[in-house]
């Protein structure tokens, strides 16, 4: 169960990162509210997962999921170019996160 909460919290990290960007420095109310709600839920989930999972692994998985999804969103919305180097590095990031789960 802790892994499911951690994965969901990592997904919420991508939501709050995207909402933070969309808020334009907290000038737009809807993205700002979405940022605050998703940030609190993401951190609460991470904290809960860390109560039964190793801290370092939990944090790495949380960040890895959030970062990967945020970059993929950038590719989809054409805010970032999906170069070969970026794709290879994302695959390495995902592989590292999976590897940390396997060995923990």
For helices 2-22 and 55-76, angle between their N-to-C axes, nearest 10 degrees: 40
Q: 83 — phi, psi (to 5°)? A: -75, 165
Enumerate the domain spans of the chain: 2-103
What's the mean pLDDT in 68-85? 95
The 10s digit of each residue's pLDDT in 19-66 is: 999 999 999 999 999 999 999 999 999 999 999 999 988 999 999 999
Burial of 99 (0-12, 13-18, 19+ CB in 10 A): exposed
How much is the pLDDT for 97?
A: 84
């Amino acid at each position: 169960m802790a892994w499911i909460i951690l994965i969901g919290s990592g997904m919420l990290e991508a939501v709050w990162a995207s909402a933070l960007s969309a808020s334009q420095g907290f000038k737009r109310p809807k993205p700002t509210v979405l940022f605050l709600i998703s940030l609190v839920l993401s951190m609460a989930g991470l904290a809960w997962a860390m109560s039964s999972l190793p801290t370092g692994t939990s944090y790495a998985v949380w960040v890895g999921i959030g970062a990967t999804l945020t970059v993929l969103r950038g590719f989809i919305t054409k805010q970032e170019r999906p170069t070969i180097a970026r794709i290879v590095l994302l695959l390495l990031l995902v592989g590292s996160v999976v590897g940390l789960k396997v060995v923990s």
